[in-house]
Amino acid sequence: MPLLYGSTPLYRTLAVGSEGKDVELLEKNLSALGYTGFTVDEEFTQGTDDAVRGWQEDLGREETGTVRAGDAVVASGARRVAEVRAPRGSAPAGDVLTWTGTERIITVDLEAKFEDLVEDGENATRATVELPDGTSVDAEVSDIGTAATAVADGEEGGAGSGGSGAGEATLPVELKVGDQKGLGRYQAAPVEVTLAAESREDVLAVPVNALVALREGGYALETVGSTGIEYLPVDLGMFAGGMVEVSGEGVTDGLVVGVPK
């Protein structure tokens, strides 16, 4: 079934003499497909008839020069068939098929307690999506659901096994992938998602195990000073990937610190 782009459905038979927005839609699509010999307007002329016959010939259909309501489907853009509901040869009753957009998205069941760490909209949270083949693509949060779902203990993602109590409540989070080609041929597949809930730029960081707890409270870094081993007090920032942001007096780029083996 051909798909025509537009918003006016084909609700009648179009032929020479027909006028209206549906004629214009048909002609816009014929023109986009490379057929010529007519003016894109609201009038179905003999030139339109000739173009329709050429289109029908290319489709392997009877060359009538007319377009009936059921000869094509109209939608605002490309569509992907999600499910065919009517068996071949059955009477056309109810929904024949369902469709979705062609843009692939990633969905995540996020534990509700982490809801404050993600945002959508202008300051959307960024993420990295690792595909089954080991490649990865960048994504960002496009929608955060409001209905929390509790997974029962014993089910996948639950807090325990074999019980019947409620597990962690989750929220559906949708991620948009800008580089659709980067998703390869995958249509449905399990992926690993890393959300960047917070980020820092132009900061100094050290391995977490470089921190030394001070007796009086707080943390320090073990450094080598003019008199030997010294402990430099630091203020801590964000933790990520085994590293921690540090700042304070004497903390400079290139500072050598002790890290236990």
Tens of pLDDT, residues 137-154: 999 898 888 766 765 555
**Residue 52 falls inside a structural domain:** yes
| Alpha carbon of residue 167 to chain centroid | 27
Are the beta carbons of 106 and 191 closer than 8 angstroms?
Answer: yes
The residues facing 86 across adjacent strands are none
Looking at the fold, whether 67 and 111 belong to one and the same domain comes out as: no
Are the beta carbons of 57 and 63 closer than 8 angstroms?
Answer: yes
Looking at the fold, whether 114 and 183 belong to one and the same domain comes out as: yes
- How far is CA 198 from each of CA 3, 110, 178, 218, rounded to the nearest angstrom? 43, 16, 20, 23
The residues facing 99 across adjacent strands are 81
Higher-pLDDT residue of 186, 42:
42
Query: Under DSSP, is residue 128 helix (H, G, I), strand (E, B) or coil?
Result: strand
Looking at the fold, whether 185 and 122 belong to one and the same domain comes out as: yes
What is the pTM for the complete model shown?
Answer: 0.44
CATH number assigned to the domain comprising residue 189: 2.40.30
**Residue 136 falls inside a structural domain:** yes
Over residues 212-239, the mean pLDDT reads 89
Over residues 167-195, the mean pLDDT reads 85
Are the beta carbons of 39 and 23 closer than 8 angstroms?
Answer: no
85 confidence band (pLDDT: 50, 70, 90): low
Looking at the fold, whether 178 and 219 belong to one and the same domain comes out as: no
- The DSSP result for 85-140, as a single string, is -SPTTS---S-SEEEEES--EEEEEEEGGGGGG---GGGPPEEEEE-TTS-EEEEE
Domain count, the chain: 3
**What domain range includes position 152?**
105-196
**Residue 82 falls inside a structural domain:** no
**Residue 182 falls inside a structural domain:** yes
- What gap in Å lies between CA 173 and CA 29, rounded to an integer? 36
Whole-number average pLDDT of the chain: 84
Looking at the fold, whether 176 and 208 belong to one and the same domain comes out as: no
Tokens coding 77: 């853009």
124 confidence band (pLDDT: 50, 70, 90): confident
**Residue 260 falls inside a structural domain:** no
Looking at the fold, whether 161 and 230 belong to one and the same domain comes out as: no
At 190, which amino acid appears? Answer: P
- What gap in Å lies between CA 88 and CA 103, rounded to an integer? 28
**Residue 98 falls inside a structural domain:** no
Question: Which residue, 155, 174, 196, sits at the end of a domain?
Answer: 196
Task: Indicate the range of 78-82, 198-202, 253-257 predicted with least confidence.
Answer: 78-82
Are the beta carbons of 4 and 74 closer than 8 angstroms?
Answer: yes
Are the beta carbons of 218 and 233 closer than 8 angstroms?
Answer: yes
